[in-house]
Every structure is written in C-alpha cells, then in structure tokens.
C-alpha cells in the first residue's frame, strides 16, 4: 500500500504501510501502520476499535476507541486517544467523549499531556 499524507507546511508525503480490518459480530477492528518515504522518516500507527451491539429495534450501545501514535528518529512525537461511549437511539448515536493528547518536545525532553472532554453526536448514513 502506498498512501499519501497531507501535512501542513510539508505538502503531500509519500508513505508505505499496511492496514488490517476485521469485523467480529458487533466488534470492528481497524489498524494501520506506515512510514514516510522521505528523509527523516516517521512512523504512524493507528488502531480503531468499535463495539456497537443493538439491544432491540430502538436501543443499542455506541462505543469507539481510537489510538494514533507517531514516532521519529528521536522516539515518540505525539499520541492521540479518542474515547466515545454512548447509546444508539433509532440510528442516532450520542454520549460523552474524551480526547487525550501527548506531545513530546525533544529539545526539552518533555512530554505535554492535554485533554478535551465533551460529548459526541453521530449518525451513519
């Protein structure tokens, strides 16, 4: 697989990688790993898990976890985790959401952690 990634200030970045997707009843797993093909390559790892069982015609569970990490020659660059847990009512999904981010400053050898809590609303069509 040869995806292209668009990055601000960089433009299109050619990458080589592999991806995996599988559905186990109500559980879906998607994974992706790639590396840049330019000078000073970075590795990108993404895993998305969703578990969405339907209890009856009207009500179901809506859950999703997404994990994204990039690494470079100096180690960890940044990571993002997106967590969602809610209910599905007649196809609409709603509930609380939490985003976590870790960004490493290699010059200072420090990693800053931040978060954003809120809610989500989703409809698949």
Give the tens place of pLDDT for each residue, 57-97. 999 999 999 999 999 988 999 999 999 999 999 889 999 99
- E-strand spans in the chain? 4-7, 11-24, 27-36, 43-51, 59-72, 75-89, 92-105, 110-123
Give the tens place of pLDDT for each residue, 10-23. 578 888 999 999 99
Mean pLDDT of the chain: 90
């Amino acid at each position: 697989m040869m995806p292209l990634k668009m990055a601000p200030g960089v433009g299109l970045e050619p990458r080589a990688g592999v991806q995996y997707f599988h559905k186990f009843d109500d559980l879906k797993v998607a994974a992706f790993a790639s590396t840049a093909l330019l000078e000073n390559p970075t590795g990108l790892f993404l895993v998305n898990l969703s578990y969405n069982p339907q209890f009856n015609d009207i009500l179901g569970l809506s859950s999703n976890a997404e994990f994204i990490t990039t690494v470079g020659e100096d180690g960890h660059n940044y990571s993002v985790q997106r967590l969602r847990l809610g209910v599905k009512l007649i196809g609409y999904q709603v509930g609380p959401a939490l985003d976590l981010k870790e960004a490493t400053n290699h010059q200072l050898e420090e990693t800053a952690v931040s978060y954003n809590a809120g809610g989500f609303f989703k409809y698949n069509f």
